[in-house]
Structure 1
Amino acid sequence: MKVAGLFAGIGGLELGLARAGHHSVHLCEIWEPARAVLQKQFPGVPLSPDISKLEDLPEDTEILAAGFPCQDLSQAGRTHGIEGSRSGLVSNVFRLIDKRRVPVVVLENVSFMLQLNRGQAMTRLVEAFEERGYRWAYRVVNSLAFLQQRRERVFLVATLNDIDPRDVLFADNAEWPEQTTSLETHAHGFYWTEGTRGLGWAPNGIPTLKNGSTVGISSPPAILLPNGNIIKPDIRDAERLQGFEPGWTAAAESVDRSSFRWSLVGNAVTVPVAEWLGKRLAEPGKCDRERERPLADNTRWPKAAAGSDLGRLAVEIGSAPLYRERADLHEFLNFPGTPLSSRATRGFLKRAESSSLRFAPGFLDRVRAHLDTMEPLSIAAQ
């Protein structure tokens, strides 16, 4: 099918759909570093700069794909809700499908939207689709099912054609395999900027890649390697941990500072998740209707739900459509990371030691040992 990608970012959703056989016919993205990436990676595809000024979609559009801004819906963001100045831009999706009845709409956003303001954002989206005669379904999917990054995102599919969105999103369901890790044998990701209320701890993986700050301060996680070293991963490995080829965002450096690449990667849709979704759009499976339960009014939105002739339904299904085998994280990394500095290590350790958080046995000892290694290097550099 032919895809119009709105809020396209660096094209994670569109690239995944392309790997499933679909084809982008139009892209829209306002941020200049992201636009530089799209121009490099999607040559020849028309690129509009401002969705509020986009008057119509191409006549042959069959899928409207939109990973709309999450800043007002994210737990780490402004939490202004669906009416916020950024996340509220999703209203342009409905303005455009009112002009052109696109058969399939795919939306993506943070899972916290199901909790914020009692799920007001999802309520608004669902009501808007129902008013327009679309069938809809959504599911929280964890990128950890596909690669070594823990990242939960909501994927919503709405359709006017003969595709039942339930047979797209709910046809696949995998069990999470048991995984035993230790500090001696596996890498463990965490956020060194935390340490008082949370850690983002990820055994044999990394916590969710973030978009950094609006002034270009990068926000990479830290990785404790089995040898005791603590590093920040190279941006090229961060791209790979989102399913892109290394260097995918390099074109952004032609228009802005290199640190913005972390924001671009952190904002992106995980490519293999979008590819799975694209394959199911091309060839729907069969949803197990035994998983469906009536969803009462004024009930909190569950992890998966759908609209049907019987009303709104909660769907009992996990966040792993499938599970891809992968190398252990420390073997996956292809590029030398940057050692976590003594200043960053000292600050994290101070917060962690004064908190009431529980840590894996031996973790703080390894952080202290890393600090002991980095301190003389820092003094020598000064």
Structure 2
Amino acid sequence: MRVVSLFSGIGGFELGLARAGFDTILMCESDPLARSVLRHRLPDIPIRTDIRTIKSLPACEILTAGWPCQDLSQAGRTAGITGDRSGLISEVFRLVGTAKTKPEFILLENVAFALHLQGGAALKFVTANLEKLGYKWAYRILDSQQFGIPQRRRRLFILGSRNLPPESILFRGVFTAKPQTPQYPEQYGFYWTEGNRGLGWSPEAVPPLKGGSALSIPSPPAIWNKNAHSFITPGVSDAERMQGFPADWTDVGVLKKDKKRARWKLIGNAVSVPVVEWIGRSIAEKISTPIHVEQKSRSSKIAVAAFGQPGQQPICLTPDYEGPEAPNVTSLREFELKNANELSLRAAAGFLSRIEKSSLKTHPAFIPDLRAFVS
């Protein structure tokens, strides 16, 4: 199946779908540093630089778009779907609407916060436009931590389909029992750049890798090893692997040597490869193996998962689980960090001063260990 990828980033959609057996025929990415990665890693695929200049959509079966989230995320400006960046999703619908042959599937990804921003306006805008174009749709939050990488990363995935029920693809495993967290965690991820209102506390995982921080600096999270009484940060290649990319995926061209901050930004904004691969394999399997999804409840409120089609009231679900039918949870203790660094004393001291004044909850031994580390 042929894939056209818009807002490609560093190739998460492309790599994930390639592992599922699909071929990308065109990419579009405006960031020159991200394009340098794409050119090195996916050299045979043409790249366009501005979606607004694409006049027509090449014939394809799958269209993907991890459209810009700066106007939707809590860390961004939260301007909503009409913001300068996130509003570019309209260009996706323009291309589909004018296509001679519409793609069978449209796969979109964005931050989970898009569900709630401005009363769910972004989600309503997307699903309404999919229906106008004749697509059935389904959406669900998926957490990368359930797909074999130790990163707690909840993202909203929206799948549109012209002929097949998209919920039978995207909702595989939706009623699976939520896996229990490790009974005795040894390592905990957290954001050392925060500590006043947020922490990102994550047993046996890191919190979501981000392209920025509260200090407006792309930076890694920290990891506290309770048994070793240590505080470290994963290296750039560790972070690439935590997104499902091969190590050093972004270590190319102008990004070599002293461009770690730029690489962190690209990695933090990327789509997790294993999640896309699972969706791709589900699409391929669904073609010959229909999967029934039980209708749970009807509601006009924004739900964490739902599906619908033109002319019908959406069906809303309230699942607790955000992974595949067979959970694949990898803990930090199982994930070998290959180029980790010790958290700097300056960073640790700054974080300590903030969290000691806050009411944030942590492990009882965490702050004593941090005090000993700083002293």
- Asked if residue 334 in structure 1 is aligned to residue 337 in structure 2, the reply is yes
The change in CA–CA distance for 1:347 and 1:181 in structure 2 (over 3 A counts) is: farther
* Contact in 2 for aligned 1:137/1:156 (Cα 8 Å): yes
Aligned counterpart, 2:112: 111
Q: Provide, for residues 15-58 of structure 1, a one-character-per-residue CA deviation record: whole Å limited to 9, x for no partner.
A: 11111111100000010110011011111101001111111222
Aligned counterpart, 1:257: 259
* Contact in 1 for aligned 2:172/2:325 (Cα 8 Å): no
Q: Distance in 2 between matches of 1:131 and 1:321?
A: 30
Q: Provide, for residues 264-306 of structure 1, a one-character-per-residue CA deviation record: whole Å limited to 9, x for no partner.
A: 111111000000000111111544443432122xx2x111111
How far 1:252 moved relative to its partner?
5.5
Aligned counterpart, 1:345: 348
- Asked if residue 290 in structure 1 is aligned to residue 294 in structure 2, the reply is yes
SS in 1 for 2:64: strand
Match of 1:115, as an amino acid? Answer: H
Compute the TM-score of the two structures, normalised by the length of structure 2: 0.92
Aligned partner of 2:368 among 359, 365, 369: 365
Question: 5+ residue gaps in structure 1?
Answer: 373-382
Q: Distance in 1 between matches of 2:254 and 2:367?
A: 36
Q: Distance in 2 between matches of 1:254 and 1:266?
A: 15
Q: Distance in 2 between matches of 1:28 and 1:240?
A: 24
* Contact in 2 for aligned 1:190/1:202 (Cα 8 Å): yes
Q: Distance in 2 between matches of 1:114 and 1:326?
A: 25
Q: Provide, for residues 179-228 of structure 1, a one-character-per-residue CA deviation record: whole Å limited to 9, x for no partner.
A: 3354xx61110000111111100000000000126999322100112311
Aligned counterpart, 1:66: 65
How far 1:332 moved relative to its partner?
1.1
Q: Distance in 2 between matches of 1:252 and 1:344?
A: 30
The change in CA–CA distance for 1:322 and 1:265 in structure 2 (over 3 A counts) is: farther
How far 1:334 moved relative to its partner?
3.3
* Contact in 1 for aligned 2:75/2:213 (Cα 8 Å): no
Question: 5+ residue gaps in structure 2?
Answer: none
* Contact in 1 for aligned 2:137/2:160 (Cα 8 Å): yes
Match of 1:279, as an amino acid? Answer: R
* Contact in 2 for aligned 1:206/1:221 (Cα 8 Å): yes
Alignment of 1:133-144 (within 5 A): 133-144=134-145
Aligned counterpart, 1:281: 283
How far 1:326 moved relative to its partner?
5.1
Q: Provide, for residues 334-353 of structure 1, a one-character-per-residue CA deviation record: whole Å limited to 9, x for no partner.
A: 31312111111111000000
Q: Which moved more, 1:137-146 or 1:218-227?
A: 218-227
The change in CA–CA distance for 1:42 and 1:287 in structure 2 (over 3 A counts) is: same
Q: Distance in 2 between matches of 1:50 and 1:267?
A: 18
Give the aligned length: 365
Identity of aligned residues (%): 43
* Contact in 2 for aligned 1:186/1:328 (Cα 8 Å): no
Q: Distance in 2 between matches of 1:27 and 1:3?
A: 9
Q: Distance in 1 between matches of 2:253 and 2:168?
A: 38
* Contact in 2 for aligned 1:293/1:313 (Cα 8 Å): yes
- Asked if residue 166 in structure 1 is aligned to residue 167 in structure 2, the reply is yes
Aligned counterpart, 1:36: 36
* Contact in 2 for aligned 1:171/1:286 (Cα 8 Å): no
SS in 2 for 1:253: helix
How far 1:313 moved relative to its partner?
1.0
Q: Distance in 2 between matches of 1:328 and 1:138?
A: 27
How far 1:254 moved relative to its partner?
4.2
- Asked if residue 93 in structure 1 is aligned to residue 123 in structure 2, the reply is no
Aligned counterpart, 1:199: 199
Q: CA RMSD in A?
A: 2.0
Q: Distance in 1 between matches of 2:334 and 2:161?
A: 41
- Asked if residue 156 in structure 1 is aligned to residue 155 in structure 2, the reply is no
Q: Distance in 2 between matches of 1:369 and 1:354?
A: 17
* Contact in 2 for aligned 1:68/1:89 (Cα 8 Å): yes
* Contact in 1 for aligned 2:179/2:327 (Cα 8 Å): no
Aligned counterpart, 2:210: 210
Alignment of 1:18-33 (within 5 A): 18-33=18-33
Q: Distance in 1 between matches of 2:295 and 2:158?
A: 18
